[in-house]
Structure 1
Amino acid sequence: MTQLFPMHAIAIESRRRGQRLVGPIDLTLGGQGATVVIGPNGAGKTTLLQLLHGTARLSAGQIDWACTTEEARHHQGFVFQRPIMLRRTVLENLIYPLRLRGAPKDKARKAAREWAVRVGLEPLLGRAAPVLSGGEQQKLALARALICKPKLLFLDEPCAALDGRATREIEMILQTAKADGTRLILSTHDLGQARRLADDVLFLVGGRIHEAGRADTFFNQPETEEAQAFLRGDIVE
C-alpha cells in the first residue's frame, strides 16, 4: 500500500521574473488531519499549494515523499478556487476521472451516481455542468476529486464567494473526507472556516511561513505580533 507521508519540503522557492513569490520554506507534514494555510492577500498561499502539489515548478529546493513523486501525484487531488467544469453533464464529469484511471464504464457510472447522492447533486445528474450555480459547481469539483479516493487533497479557497448554506455543505463534505482518511491541505481567507476545519495552521506572510502549529494553540495563543494582528483583523503586510 502506497504511503505518501511524511512529506518533507526542503528550502523550496518559487521565483518569477527574478522576484521571489514564495520561500525559502522548510515544511514537514504527516498523514492525518487538515492543514489550513492562512495569511494576508498576496502572501503566497495559492503558490505554496501548487508547489507542494506539483502544478507549479520549484525554482529551488526539493520535495521528498515517502514514495516516488509519480506515485505521490497519482494519489493526490486539487480543487481550484474557480472550479474547472468539463462541457459535459454532471454525470459525465464524475465518470471522467475514473475512466482516465481505467475503471470499467459500469463501475464508473455506479460510483458517479453514489457520489452525486453524497454531495446532493443526484437531481442534477443530467444537467450540463457549466450552467450549475457556484455552490453546485464546487460540490461537483469536490466529488470529482474525492471519487478517486485520494490520500491527499489540496483545496485553494474552496468556499470563496459562496453563501453560508453552500459553505456549510462544502465543509460537511470536507469533514467527512477527513474522517474517511483523506489528508487535507487548504487555503482560506475565512478565519471562521479555518477554526472549524483546521487541525494545524500555516500562517504565511510575504511568501514565508511566519508561524506554524496546532490550530488551538495558534488561534488562542499566537506567538508573533503579526499573527496576533491578523487574527484581530488588522492589516498585515
Structure 2
Amino acid sequence: MSEAIFQFNQVNRLVLQNITFTLREEDRLIIFGPSGAGKSTLLHLFNRMDDPDQGEVLFHNKPIEQYDIPQLRRSVGLVLQQPHLFPDTVLDNLKFGPSLFDDWEEARAERLMDYVNLPIDYLNKSVDELSGGEKQRVSLARTLANKPDVLLLDEPTSALDDRNIEAIEEDLIRLIEHNHLTVAMVTHSMDQAKRIGTKGLYIEEGQVIEYGDINQLLENPNTEQLKQFLHKS
C-alpha cells in the first residue's frame, strides 16, 4: 500500500464534524458535495489556512502544527478559483515563492511556461495584460514553481469558459502525472471529477457520507444522500 501523506482523525472545524480519512501518495482526491457542506474549509486544513477546533491532521505521520507554515505551504501548494497574482510581471510571480528560500534558477521559468502551455515571451508581460485563462495558468505555474508534493485545487476552472476548462484540465492531468503529485481538489463538476480524480470524498452538512474510488462513488453510490445529490447534479 502506498504511503499515507495526510491523515485526518476526528477533525471538527466550523461545519465539519468528525472528518476521518487518509490521503495516500499519488491519490487524486475529489472533494464534492452541496454548497455549504464544508468543502473549501476542509481543503484549507491541508496547508493550515485553517486549523481544526478538535481532532488532528497528520502530514507524513507528523502533526501538521509541527511544521513551519511557509515550508508546509511550499510542499502543499494551493490554486484558488480566482487567481490572485501580484501586480507585476509573470516572471516576478513565478520566482517570488522560490526566492524566499533562495531556490530560484532562471532556467526554471522556461520549464514552468512550457508546463502550462504559455509562450516564453509572456515572462516579461504584466499580469494585467493576461486573459482569465492565462492568469489561471500563471497561478498554476506559480504554485508549481515551489516544487510541491501535494497540489490543492479549489474549483480552479469554475470561472473559465469551456475552451479554457478543457485546456487547463489537460495541462493539470499532464502535470500531475509527470510530477507524481498527490492531489486534493474541490469541484462542482462530476464530469471533471471523473476525468481527473481517482478517489472521492462526498460530504454533506459537514460530515463524510461516502469515501472511496471516484468511479464507484459516482456510478454506484451506497447512500441515499449521494444518490439524491447525483440525481440533482
Does the alignment reach a TM-score above 0.5? yes
1:164 corresponding residue in structure 2: 162
1:76 corresponding residue in structure 2: 76
1:88 corresponding residue in structure 2: 88
Q: Which moved more, 1:22-31 or 1:66-75?
A: 66-75
Question: Is the 8 Å Cα contact of residues 155 and 185 (structure 1) preserved in structure 2?
Answer: yes
Q: Which moved more, 1:78-87 or 1:95-104?
A: 95-104
1:102 corresponding residue in structure 2: 102
| Distance apart, 1:161 and its partner CA | 1.8
How many residue pairs get aligned? The number is 224
Separation (CA, whole Å) in 2 of partners of 1:225 and 1:67: 34
Separation (CA, whole Å) in 1 of partners of 2:126 and 2:79: 19
| Distance apart, 1:73 and its partner CA | 4.3
What percent identity do the matched residue pairs reach? 30
2:9 corresponding residue in structure 1: 10
**AA paired with 1:26?**
T
The reply on whether 1:37 has 2:31 as its aligned counterpart is: yes
Q: What residue ranges of structure 2 are gaps of 5+ in the alignment?
A: none
1:115 corresponding residue in structure 2: 112
CA displacement, residues 54-80 of structure 1 (integer Å, 9 cap, x when unaligned): 111211111112254326544110111
| Distance apart, 1:27 and its partner CA | 1.3
2:153 corresponding residue in structure 1: 155
2:137 corresponding residue in structure 1: 139
- How do 1:44-59 residues align onto structure 2 when only pairs under 5 Å count? 44-59=38-53
Separation (CA, whole Å) in 2 of partners of 1:176 and 1:91: 22
TM-score normalised by L of structure 1:
0.88
Question: Is the 8 Å Cα contact of residues 46 and 76 (structure 2) preserved in structure 1?
Answer: no
Separation (CA, whole Å) in 1 of partners of 2:172 and 2:203: 23
Q: What residue ranges of structure 1 are gaps of 5+ in the alignment?
A: 16-20
1:219 corresponding residue in structure 2: 218
| Distance apart, 1:36 and its partner CA | 0.5
**Root-mean-square deviation (Å):** 1.8
Is the alpha carbon distance of 1:195 and 1:63 closer, same or farther for their aligned partners in structure 2, counting shifts above 3 Å?
Answer: same
TM-score normalised by L of structure 2:
0.90
Separation (CA, whole Å) in 1 of partners of 2:176 and 2:215: 18
| Distance apart, 1:154 and its partner CA | 0.5
Question: Is the 8 Å Cα contact of residues 4 and 67 (structure 1) preserved in structure 2?
Answer: no
Separation (CA, whole Å) in 2 of partners of 1:183 and 1:162: 24
Separation (CA, whole Å) in 2 of partners of 1:128 and 1:67: 41
| Distance apart, 1:103 and its partner CA | 1.9
Is the alpha carbon distance of 1:4 and 1:97 closer, same or farther for their aligned partners in structure 2, counting shifts above 3 Å?
Answer: farther
2:20 corresponding residue in structure 1: 26
